[in-house]
Amino acid sequence: MPSTPSARSAYSLLLAAVFACAAAIEIFSFRPADPLRFFVYLALTFIAAAIRLDFPGTPTSLAFVPILLAVVDLSGREAIFLAAAGAMVQPIRRWRQKFDPAPAIVRVLDACFAAGAAYLAFHCPWWQYALIAPIPRLAVAAAVLYLMSSGLVNSALGWFQGQPVQVHWNQGMFGLHLAGAIVAGLTHALGLWVGWQAAVVCLPMSYFLGWLCLLALERIRARKEYSEYEAELHLQTIELLALAIGARDRTHPRLRRMQFFALEIGKQLQLANEELQALAAASLLHDVGKLAIPEHILNKPGKLTPEEYEKIKIHPIVGAEILASASFPYPVAEIVSAHHERWDGTGYPNGLKGEQIPLGARILAVVECFDALTSPRPYRRALTPNASMEVIANESNHGYDPRVVSILGEQFRELEQRMKQEKSKNPETSIDDITLERLNSIANAQNEVLELSSMLHDLNYSVGLQEVLPQFAIRLKRMLPFDALVVHGVAKGKLKPQFVNGQEFEALCSLDIPLGQGVAGTSAQLKQPICNADPASEREFSSGPFPSFGSLLAVPLEGNTGVTGVMSVYRAEQSAFGAEDLRIAMAVASKLGLCLEHSTRFQQLSSSATVDFVTGLPNSRALFEHLDAEVARCQRSRETLAVVVCDLDGFKTVNDRFGHLQGNALLHLVGQQLKDSCRGYDYVARMGGDEFVILMPGLPVENLAERLAALETGIQAASRELLREEVVVGVSAGCAFFPADGFDAESLLSKADQRMYSTKSDRKSKAPETDLLTLGLVHLSRQNQSQAEVT
């Protein structure tokens, strides 16, 4: 066969010339036995060859029906002549197109050979000895005609066109040839009854049968296409479900990678097509059972407890039960159920060992481990592929099938590269790329749930705002980005900052906003959020330079008793907050308002537990705590501490003459006078009744008498102002020094109390003017003596 187009064309012309000469000789020497009958059959052949039926894959004509009829009724030479005539119709129909004589000649020769073989098959002498009826013989002849025409013509045409020889067997065409044999047999039987002219009915009959066959094939094709569409839709539904589940913990981008790795390994292990389909589905749906696992266990950053690990171990069983109810046409549930079994039998849930584990599950176990090691986790960083492969290789023959480990170890680099290439070549076929935005929205929603859950948990179980709000601000910023955050609390008709985070810290700390004014004050008064307001409207409430933010989101914080504060979120851009930002802020504000209310109540209760109600001074409980701390500090710094116990003289007379309300008023004045008379770092507390205690760290002994005299003068002046000099209240004081008089709070207070009562007794017998001075001198000499003893 010539290899070049020009040589092939020359060869075709030569072949056409030879064929034309042979055909001319045959035509001039041909003499049909019954010319009229022959020409009627020839006309039927031309008409049948011109009728085209668009069969799927191979459009065909009905020329084989009159040819089969000629095989029965005419001679072999006449049947071959009719076949050649029918084969020439198709080139004649395409005469306007580019005509290549070689394929046309091959078709004609093929038709001649096929018709001759069919004639010999029908008139085989063996049929007469076996007494076989014409219809079965026609079926054999039709089969021979089909085989010869399908095989020979395709092979010869491919050879002539310089292409590989390919033979296509169309089952629909074979059935049509058998139907044509039945039509030819019925027409022959009818011709024996009414004459050969009955052959004209073969065309309508054959066309009707052909139309029926075509209709049946169309239905089969439509059903097949629908089945393929249904299977594709089923697979896409599975993939979308798996990706949506994976989006909960942001593993959906890796599911495709796991599927690709698993299928490639499965092909090398020669899995059947059904097993590969099961492996493809299981690769995507293997973790569907994790829907039954609580989020706090799945996303726990640390090591699981034994109880939590037992909960995790149920997910293969749950996943297999879910998938078993879906009635997959391939064994998906078995793979999902066993993908955590180990080669040595130490896996779960059933403890399968070695070959007992389905091969698909063994492949999936290795691929999932490789994917997990190369992906970041809350408790560790991602490993490199080489390091991950070393870990898996160490588990070969223990946890994993050594054959699977060996294949992955040899090809994981190549598979990674091929995965990237296929994704870059066909991005439109990747479901997770097409639906990436939706899947990310699922992941973001899940992340929002986790963040809000953690945030609200901290708020619910905390009464100290300064402890929980820094972490609250970090988590809030992940969902609601901001440049600055201020949490205001309501106090005396104003909003005062309780917590500030972000830029311009000092300027925002000074904001004292009256209710009903500014953005935050208006939001608190209206009990409505205000979005994208101008922060400059709060400039007048700042004591310093106000920052230049562009937009402000203010959300009222409501508790059980009303508005407890406002959360103000600032951004540098103008109109920076959207509907999602407002939704998140309002979701957080409800719990933050309750937390702020609880914190305020807790502070009030804590304050009442350590503050005296009448005087506003620390009470005895706070005194002992502070005194213990001061003693410990003085021990470390080697500093002295003066503990002064004061008792009012004549206070009972005030209660008896003026009542307890006036007595409480006097106690309040005395307390304020004591604070005003002391240094800024001295500590004044009410012990109980009309007794007060003053702690004076680092006070020199020589200054004590002066201090005590000033205290008595101030107290007497306060009593004269309140009682109009009807009763003048004095004070008796006793003092103890650390470390001279004791090393703990009880010893010091006891010693100072004894000296106070001693002073009170002395004042009854001595002039009051000398009492305090004498007391100071006594303490001075005692302090010198104590220091000498210590030395």
241 occurs within a structural domain = no
Tell me how far the alpha carbon of residue 592 is from its chain's centroid: 27
pLDDT at 358: 92
Q: Are residues 451 and 563 in the same domain?
A: yes
Q: Are residues 615 and 753 in the same domain?
A: yes
pLDDT at 554: 92
- Mean pLDDT within 582-589: 83
Tokens of 439: 């899947």
Q: Are residues 339 and 399 in the same domain?
A: yes
- Sequence-ordered strand ranges (E) for 176-265: none
Q: Which band of pLDDT confidence, cut at 50, 70 and 90, is reported for residue 364?
A: very high
Which of 572, 603, 634 finishes a domain?
Answer: 603
Which of 603, 635, 658 finishes a domain?
Answer: 603
Express each pLDDT in 435-455 by its tens digit.
545 555 555 555 555 555 555
pLDDT at 202: 66
- Mean pLDDT within 225-249: 67
Query: Any idea what the CATH number is for the domain that residue 784 is in?
Result: 3.30.70.270
pLDDT at 446: 52
746 occurs within a structural domain = yes
Q: Which residues touch 357 (CB under 8 Å, ≥6 apart)?
A: 338, 341, 343, 401
Report whether pLDDT(257) > 90.
no
pLDDT at 570: 92
Q: Are residues 136 and 268 in the same domain?
A: no
Report how far residue 317's alpha carbon sits from residue 337's, in angstroms, rounded to the nearest whole number: 6
Q: Are residues 579 and 492 in the same domain?
A: yes
pLDDT at 76: 77
Query: Any idea what the CATH number is for the domain that residue 293 is in?
Result: 1.10.3210.10
Q: Which of 163-172, 606-615, 728-737 has the highest mean pLDDT?
A: 728-737
Report how far residue 142's alpha carbon sits from residue 285's, in angstroms, rounded to the nearest whole number: 52
* Contact between 696 and 682 (Cβ < 8 Å): yes
Q: Are residues 302 and 153 in the same domain?
A: no
CB burial of residue 171 (10 Å; 0-12, 13-18, 19+): exposed
Picking from 738, 523, 782, the residue whose alpha carbon sits closest to that of residue 630 is 738
Report how far residue 186's alpha carbon sits from residue 206's, in angstroms, rounded to the nearest whole number: 11
Report whether pLDDT(699) > 60.
yes
The percentage of residues in the chain with a pLDDT greater than 90, rounded to a whole number, is 8
Boundaries of domain holding 179: 5-219
Higher pLDDT, 221 or 512: 512
* Contact between 330 and 278 (Cβ < 8 Å): yes
Report how far residue 83's alpha carbon sits from residue 87's, in angstroms, rounded to the nearest whole number: 6
Report whether pLDDT(5) > 80.
no
Q: Report how far apart, in Å, the C-alpha atoms of 542 and of each of 202, 297, 717 are.
A: 105, 47, 41
Q: Are residues 581 and 669 in the same domain?
A: no
Q: Are residues 417 and 489 in the same domain?
A: no
pLDDT at 357: 93
Higher pLDDT, 504 or 755: 755
pLDDT at 265: 92
Report whether pLDDT(154) > 90.
no
Angle between helices 252-268 and 402-425 in degrees, nearest 10: 120
Report whether pLDDT(57) > 70.
no
- Mean pLDDT within 113-141: 78
Express each pLDDT in 298-323 by its tens digit.
767 667 888 888 888 888 998 888 88
* Contact between 68 and 145 (Cβ < 8 Å): yes
Q: Which residues touch 130 (CB under 8 Å, ≥6 apart)?
A: none
Range with the lowest mean pLDDT among 36-50, 233-247, 509-523? 233-247
Express each pLDDT in 388-413 by its tens digit.
899 999 988 888 999 999 999 898 88
pLDDT at 551: 92
Q: Are residues 616 and 598 in the same domain?
A: no
Q: Which of 139-148, 188-197, 742-751 has the highest mean pLDDT?
A: 742-751
Tell me how far the alpha carbon of residue 205 is from its chain's centroid: 64
Report how far residue 707's alpha carbon sits from residue 674's, in angstroms, rounded to the nearest whole number: 11
Report how far residue 63's alpha carbon sits from residue 89's, in angstroms, rounded to the nearest whole number: 10
Express each pLDDT in 326-361 by its tens digit.
777 788 889 999 999 999 999 988 889 989 999 999
Query: Any idea what the CATH number is for the domain that residue 30 is in?
Result: 1.10.1760.20
pLDDT at 493: 84
534 occurs within a structural domain = yes
170 occurs within a structural domain = yes
226 occurs within a structural domain = no
Q: Are residues 299 and 368 in the same domain?
A: yes
Report how far residue 231's alpha carbon sits from residue 328's, in angstroms, rounded to the nearest whole number: 11
pLDDT at 771: 44
Report how far residue 311's alpha carbon sits from residue 294's, in angstroms, rounded to the nearest whole number: 9
Domain count, the chain: 4
Report whether pLDDT(429) > 50.
no
Q: Which band of pLDDT confidence, cut at 50, 70 and 90, is reported for residue 20?
A: low
Express each pLDDT in 618-645 by its tens digit.
888 888 888 888 888 898 888 889 999 9
- Mean pLDDT within 129-136: 74
- Mean pLDDT within 523-539: 88
pLDDT at 466: 64
Tokens of 490: 């309501």
- Mean pLDDT within 372-383: 77
233 occurs within a structural domain = no
Which of 407, 433, 459 finishes a domain?
Answer: 433
Report whether pLDDT(768) > 70.
no
Q: Are residues 428 and 454 in the same domain?
A: no
Q: Are residues 548 and 463 in the same domain?
A: yes
pTM attached to this predicted model:
0.47
260 occurs within a structural domain = yes
pLDDT at 32: 73
Q: Which residues of 188-206 are buried (b: 16+ CB within 10 A; e: fewer)?
A: bebbeeeebebbeebbebb
- Mean pLDDT within 249-269: 78
* Angle at CA of residue 204, ends 212 and 134, nearest 5°: 85
Query: Any idea what the CATH number is for the domain that residue 528 is in?
Result: 3.30.450.40
237 occurs within a structural domain = no
Q: Which band of pLDDT confidence, cut at 50, 70 and 90, is reported for residue 259?
A: confident
